[in-house]
Structure 1
Amino acid sequence: MTIDVTEAAGTVQGECAPAFAEVARAFAENFRDGSQTGAGVSVYHRGREVVSLWGGVADEATGRPWQRDTLAVLASPTKSVAAGALYVLLERGVVELDAPIARYWPEFAAAGKESVTLRMLLAQRTGVVALDHTPITYERLRTGRPVVEALAAARPEWEPGTAHGYHAMTFGHIVSEVVLRTTGRTVGEFLAEEIAGPLGLDCWIGLPEAELPRLATMLPSQAEFLMEGAGDGPDTSGLAELLAALGDPTSLTFRATIGSMSFDADTGNDAKRVRLENASYDGVANAPSLARYFAALIGEVDGIRLAGPGLVDEIRRVHSDGPCRTMLLPTTWGLGVMLPDGPLYPASAGPAGSFGLAGATGSFACAVPERELAFAYVPNGGSRVIDRLDPRARRVAEAVHRSAAGL
């Protein structure tokens, strides 16, 4: 049984199981306090969607309303979706976690990377985090091969396996090349044919042109303010070290982020870039599809399961913990996903044993195997913070977990 929340929550539409009524209240509160422009939230429990809510506007200029199927740029959760291709290939025995990436991509062995494994990649431990020697441009992203060649030539920034640092710009491209070398398909093609298609997901790495009318207009995030060198975004309190690093072209933080990309105002816009395959950042989905994807990682959804229990336990085992070499914050990583507890993924937003990933756009997705629970929050208003989980996502996540704890 579900309850219609349209009248009770004003701007919020959709349905919500009674046990998760607190989620509807938390989601509506994000609109009432003015922090949320447009967004959707979806919760899956035991393979079934029990919450499907949306509200606000997808485009402030036109007033286009947010719908259940409105799409948004995910930012970093794209990486967790791209990792799904490797999870499937691991389950099928096509690739091995502790095999060198060079087994599948021989050119990657250059510059001291011959021993870098897939496990190191998924745990953010390869050291291959900077492309400032050949920054990603729209044209290089469009053709693909220049980015791949730059990664093959890149030298690790630390001895692989000895430390971890967020692979903000490089992760998805390395994943995609491994998928291409082992299947003949890019990660976007593999996602569409082997994951999104069978599960019925509105989720893409490389959005088809026909789907552009459903794409929400994204608003700037704090990360974008900082990457543009503004330093005067909505909230820069407590970011002195990060701001200093982003302003220093010699720092690894700068080289792994600002220095690794070069987009002008036109080629950097969402509607143009999401057409390309950037599996590190520019994936597109709506909340129901992202939640359904995470649900299919931990259990069956309409008869489909992407990762078996053994692999799920490996995914959520701590592989990296402590200070991040690139983002200068404490983080904990499993394989392709973050784990609690840390500022970017606090324990209140995901209990022990859960895993997920948040993005600069404010998006957040999480799975809790013990509770057979998965959810996703997908907005179009960029996150106003960079050193902690977006408060809007945290409010919704906490309501989800409080609701599920009583079941």
Structure 2
Amino acid sequence: MDHVYGHVTSGWENIRSVFKQNLDDGLDIGASLCIYYRGNCVVDLTSGWKDPETKKEPYTSDTLQLVFSTSKGIISAAIALCVERQLLDYNAPVARYWPEFAANGKQNITISELLAHRAGIACVDEDNLTVEDGCNWSRMVSLIAAQKPHWEPGTAHGYHAHTL
């Protein structure tokens, strides 16, 4: 990629190099990266294309990007903090902390299996699930708690895109 736009604060230049390399290697088509450290913007970069076929519109800091699973990293960090503080145990069954989760054969699924996408609950078996349903905390918690695993927990991997 010829052009990477934006700024990088002194000491953060390696981030720019990796960002550019991802584009040069074809790992990204268009990208934007903004990093705040201790309340200050230290990296704010964009590069690439909105449409790699036409290469007419550059990817900018205003480009809208469809993003999935951004909360998974935050949830994992929060769980790691809870484990460090001995509030949770990775090897404990989820049902120890959320008893309703034990329904339909999920009583032995561990936090570790859930985080590793090995719990067998990649989705919920609910016809006509709406966006409103997906945004309704109580509804989704009930559906996940009631969900039967799609495979024997711990035996296979399947990305839990719409659950946990």
Q: Which residue, out of 90, 102, 106, partners 1:109?
A: 102
Residue equivalent to 2:83: 90
Q: In structure 1, how many angstroms separate the alpha carbons of the residues matched to 2:122 and 2:4? A: 42
**In structure 2, what residue type is equivalent to 1:12?**
Y
1:125, 1:164 within 8 Å by CA — same for their partners in 2?
Answer: yes
Residue equivalent to 2:132: 139
Q: In structure 2, how many angstroms separate the alpha carbons of the residues matched to 1:87 and 1:21? A: 25
Q: Which residue, out of 45, 49, 56, partners 1:54?
A: 45
| Alpha-carbon shift at residue 108 of structure 1 (Å) | 0.9
Report the CA distance shift for 1:83/1:135 in structure 2 as closer, same or farther (over 3 A): farther
Residue equivalent to 1:12: 5
2:120, 2:151 within 8 Å by CA — same for their partners in 1?
Answer: yes
| Alpha-carbon shift at residue 96 of structure 1 (Å) | 1.0
Q: In structure 2, how many angstroms separate the alpha carbons of the residues matched to 1:12 and 1:22? A: 10
Q: Which residue, out of 117, 141, 157, partners 1:148?
A: 141
| Alpha-carbon shift at residue 120 of structure 1 (Å) | 0.8
1:122 is the counterpart of 2:120 = no
Residue equivalent to 1:163: 156
| Alpha-carbon shift at residue 90 of structure 1 (Å) | 0.8
Residues 189-268 of structure 1: pairs in structure 2 closer than 5 A: none
Residues 230-379 of structure 1: pairs in structure 2 closer than 5 A: none
Report the CA distance shift for 1:134/1:117 in structure 2 as closer, same or farther (over 3 A): farther
**In structure 2, what residue type is equivalent to 1:108?**
F
1:11, 1:28 within 8 Å by CA — same for their partners in 2?
Answer: no
| Alpha-carbon shift at residue 40 of structure 1 (Å) | 2.1
TM-score by length of 2: 0.69
| Alpha-carbon shift at residue 72 of structure 1 (Å) | 5.8
| Alpha-carbon shift at residue 162 of structure 1 (Å) | 1.6
| Alpha-carbon shift at residue 142 of structure 1 (Å) | 3.0
Kindly, what percent of the aligned residue pairs are identical? Answer: 32
TM-score by length of 1: 0.31
Structure 1: which 5+ residue stretches go unaligned?
A: 1-8, 172-407
1:23 is the counterpart of 2:44 = no
Of structures 1 and 2, the one with the larger relative CO (CA 8 A, separation 6+) is: 1
2:103, 2:145 within 8 Å by CA — same for their partners in 1?
Answer: yes
1:134, 1:150 within 8 Å by CA — same for their partners in 2?
Answer: no
Report the structure, 1 or 2, having the larger helix content: 1
Q: In structure 1, how many angstroms separate the alpha carbons of the residues matched to 2:74 and 2:3? A: 33
CA RMSD of aligned residues (A): 3.8
1:66 is the counterpart of 2:66 = no
2:12, 2:43 within 8 Å by CA — same for their partners in 1?
Answer: no
2:94, 2:111 within 8 Å by CA — same for their partners in 1?
Answer: yes
Aligned length: 147
**In structure 1, what residue type is equivalent to 2:20?**
A
Structure 2: which 5+ residue stretches go unaligned?
A: 51-57
Q: In structure 2, how many angstroms separate the alpha carbons of the residues matched to 1:83 and 1:52? A: 24
1:101, 1:118 within 8 Å by CA — same for their partners in 2?
Answer: yes
1:110, 1:153 within 8 Å by CA — same for their partners in 2?
Answer: yes
For the residue of structure 1 that corresponds to 2:43, the secondary structure is: strand
